Structure 1
Amino acid sequence: MVPTAAQEIIHLPTEDRWLSPDFEEVYRVGSLSGEDWELFGYIYEVGLDGAGQLYILDVQSSLITVVGPDGEFRRAFGGPGEGPGEFRSPMALAVFRDGRVVVGDDRDLTYHLFGANGEFERRVRWALQGDWPVLTALMPHPEADALFSAVGSQFRSISSMGERKTHTSRPVERIMLTGEVATKDTVAEGWLPEGGESLYAGVPQVKAFGSRMLAGVLPDGSVAFSDSTAYAIRIARPEAGVWRILRRGLQPIPVTNRMVNAERDRQRRAIPENAPPSNRESALETIANLPFSDEVAILRALRTGWDGDIWVQRHGEEPSDDYGPIDVLTMDGRYLGSYRAGAIEMPDAFGPGGLVAFIEEDEMGVQTVVVKRVPLDIN
């Protein structure tokens, strides 16, 4: 049972204050014509530590590359294999502020722990607790040997082993890494709307236009999350539960028949023309039976910055458009402003001194990581 704390509700301004997307580029890495270490296969995740070092998880090579604050190569560690410090299937990266690294491996169901120098330290087995093994995005605790994750958020992988557990909520969980086997406790219970069957370990299928489970960790060890169609950011901490809610007076719009028909048509058009007949038939059946939410969820993405800022992305002009304006809030309840739709992408990682990292891909499929600095009015 998660304790119920007194909840402070802060109402933020409704009117948008537009911010300039004039970010200073610090460096970029990843090029076919660059150094050998810059030839990445598939960049899955990136992270930044307290020294401004960039960590790049390449799931094709199973390597983690560390880049210094000026874009210089520092070291690489990991690699494919079954020995100490090697990965079978690295699918999640967590970079702690002091440079320690945790990698979630969904093949051997372990967390691999590395020191700040890249040296392998130990493995910790997943806390399965009789459920199907599911890996979601890992959020490092700013101070402790622990991670945060949220059921139903930023899905990475699933393995159909053991008992299938039926969830009645989308909990935010703390994962402790102090022993040989990880242990979990629940920080807060996220709302779980009803839906159809899903392969996601007993969590109902998310309805089209429906609420997503979005979460990010804050510097005091709290977690900011969104679990509804409304504009409400809940802030929870271990042993206390939700203690603050940030709201903006933006209202979710109702789903109409026109929206439903347009979304089904959009998904039908997205089926590849060269898809095998059986695959096409299966896709058409899925689209025909797709459940829809009664309202269009406002928020589509959430990230948290180094100093407690909360970045949330709204939907665009169409209900299916995930790339609308990006709002920047603070955990103490201030609205700093918004970036217009298309002005910037949501950063893939945040670091000290306003550093942000973006994973970019050109028309040839070559991936680049660009590190920039946020303007002073936001930093």
Structure 2
Amino acid sequence: MQATKDSWFAVLSVAFAACGTGTEVARGPQVVTDRIGDTVVVRTLSGSVWGGDATLVPELSIGEVEGPDEYLFGRIGSIAVDDDRNVYVFDQQAREVRMFDPEGGHVRTLGGPGQGPGELERPEAMALLPDRRIVVRDPGNARLQVYGPEEESLEEWPYVPAFYSNQPLWTDGRGRMYVAARDPSDATGFGRSLLAIFDPDGTPRDTVAPPHGDFEGETVTGERDGAMATYGVPFAPRAIWVVHPGGHFASGISSRYAIDLEVPDGVLRIERTHEPARVFPREAEQARAQTERGIGMTVPGWTWDGPSIPDTKPPFAGLYPGRDGRIWVRVATEAQEVENEDHDPDSPFSTPFVWRSPLRFDVFEADGTYLGAVNPPEDFSSNPFPVFDGNDVWAVSLDDLGIQRVVRYRITLAPDT
């Protein structure tokens, strides 16, 4: 991990040192570079290194419809992969962490429900440290539960949890952990998001606010007789951030295609020209109706009185750092109206038809080089966070029966690419 991290910084240092202002036309992408203070901007105008779109081809699947318990997953909350390609699966429902070898064979199971040593009460997320210790964020026990490479190795690090967080548990190449934390100055627990940073030995180091904490996205609010409900305006820009394995934030406000990666010498800003994805009128109408029903559960009779729903989607909807330092950007795509096979006429939130947008990722090297786009298969899930490492991707898949599996995919280019 350390060697990889050093190589990211070496590449970025060269980029900062060599960056003038100009246009580079190579075999692949056409790129403009610029410097604004301590920020280097790498803007891809057209083209890509790959020269075309890539797909993900499944190579290995872990999980069954029936069989041994270790292969039956209830609700997968996190996955991780080590340098030897062993796979770690955190089953939030079973409150267990299961380890599998590179061929998918079960190795061991850790945890289990409870409050005793090594047990998990209300676990939320799992991550892997560079030395292969497994860390589980367990606010139910108000601790980080640490399992060592040997089964008998256990540590418990206390922390003050947030009331609830669906954030991943982040770790970096130095072995530090970034844990969703509560703002002690906010008695409600619904204030700004914070991250508590822990050293590899469990010592609290610092508490930091993620980037763009002052950004206020567009919202609509219903309020009556002391009851209040606030929802975000569908398809409005928002602040998006992740912790990069280099120990810095990658972030952006999705009103434009610009992603800032903090680096030791400043900021690397990754930009790309794009064609906005449309929000179709019927799609906007359904999103508006769902918002009205949601607020109406708290404030009966509420009707929309806020900003208009945009007619295009923000350029990107998610950021995903790879183990190799790459940045995977989940870009917005146009949706299609399809029949809702799970429609429940008795539910006010269920509709006969739903709008579904196919997943698509733009992939960048840590120096901002645009490699190309990846179109995953339909059963590929971006939640929980997939594991990206070079040409390999591990992710949760969901079949038509609702069965979860962990699948290893291989990035594959079209034959004529």
Structure-2 separation of matches of 1:362 and 1:254: 28
Q: d(CA) in 2 for partners of 1:110 and 1:59? A: 16
Matches within 5 A, 1:113-124: 113-124=146-157
Q: Which amino acid aligns with 2:108?
A: R
Question: Partner residue of 1:175?
Answer: 197
CA deviation digits over 1:5-48, x for unaligned, max 9?
A: 811111123457532315351x2111134433212222222111
Residues 211 and 241, structure 2, Cα contact 8 Å, conserved in 1: no
Q: Is the 8 A contact 2:121 2:138 kept in 1?
A: yes
Q: Give how far 1:329 is off.
A: 1.0
Structure 2 unaligned blocks of 5 or more: 1-35, 222-229, 337-354
One-letter amino acid of the structure 1 residue matched with residue 363 of structure 2:
V
Given the two structures, how large is their TM-score scaled by the length of structure 1?
0.75
Provide Cα deviations, 1:152-195, integer angstroms capped at 9, x if missing partner: xxxxxx99997136757x67x46124456574234644552244
Matches of 2:280 and 2:125, distance apart in 1: 38
**Would you say the 8 A contact 1:209–1:292 is kept in 2?**
no
Q: CA, structure 1 residues 34+292, in 2 after alignment: closer, same or farther (shift >3 Å)?
A: farther
Which of 1 and 2 has greater Rg? 2
3-state secondary structure, aligned to 1:261 = helix
2:330 paired with 1:307: no
**Contact 1:125 1:180 (C-alpha < 8 Å) held by counterparts:** no
Q: Are 1:59 and 2:75 an aligned pair?
A: no
Q: What letter corresponds to residue 207 of structure 2 in structure 1? A: K
* Residues 1:23 and 2:57 are matched in the alignment: yes
For 2:380 and 2:46, locate their aligned partners in 1 and report how far apart those are by CA, in whole Å: 22
Report the Cα distance in structure 1 between the residues aligned to 2:316 and 2:132, rounded to whole angstroms: 31
Shift of 1:50: 1.7
Paired-residue identity, %: 22
1:337 aligns with 2:372: yes
189-198 vs 211-220, greater mean Cα deviation: 189-198
**Is 2:335–2:358's contact at 8 Å kept on the other side of the alignment?**
no
Cα distance change of structure 1 residues 256 and 80 upon mapping to structure 2, 3 Å threshold: closer
Match of 1:355 among 377, 386, 392: 392
Q: Distance in 1 between matches of 2:280 and 2:212?
A: 30
- What does residue 236 of structure 1 align with? 262
Within the candidate set 142, 158, 173, 1:125 is matched to 158
Contact 1:229 1:252 in 2 (8 A): no
Instruction: Report the CA distance shift for 1:13/1:23 in structure 2 as closer, same or farther (over 3 A).
Output: farther
- Deviations 1:301-340 (CA, angstroms, capped at 9, x unpaired): 2211121111111122149755453111112010111134
1:288 aligned partner = 304
> 1:359–1:369: 8 Å Cα contact kept in structure 2?
yes
CA distances 1:81-131 after superposition (whole Å, capped 9, x unpaired): 101110001111112233211111132332212223344532223346xx7
Q: 1:104 aligns with which of 119, 130, 137?
A: 137
Counterpart AA for 1:124: W
Match of 2:188 among 156, 161, 164: 164
Determine if the alignment matches structure 1 residue 316 to structure 2 residue 338.
Answer: no
Answer yes or no: is 1:192 the counterpart of 2:215.
yes
Query: Alpha-carbon deviation of 1:255?
Result: 7.8
Distance in 2 separating the partners of 1:133 and 1:182: 22
Matches of 2:277 and 2:389 in 1, distance apart?
37
Tell me which residue corresponds to 1:218.
Answer: 244
> Which deviates more, 242-251 or 226-235?
242-251
Counterpart AA for 2:87? L
Is 1:87 the counterpart of 2:120? The answer is yes
Q: Which runs of 5+ in 1 are unaligned?
A: 152-157, 199-203, 272-277
Which of 30, 42, 46 is the aligned partner of 2:75? Answer: 42
Alignment RMSD (CA, Å): 4.0
Please give the per-residue CA displacement for 1:211-270, whole angstroms capped at 9, x wherever unaligned. Answer: 344333434323322333211111125x87x611101123657989876435324667xx
Rounded to whole Å, the distance in 2 between the matches of 1:244 and 1:83 is: 45
8 A contact 1:31–1:39 mirrored in 2: yes
Q: 1:37 to 1:245 in 2, by over 3 A?
A: same
Pair 1:326-2:361 in alignment: yes
Q: Is the 8 A contact 2:132 2:149 kept in 1?
A: yes
**Which stretch shows the higher mean deviation, 91-100 or 287-296?**
287-296
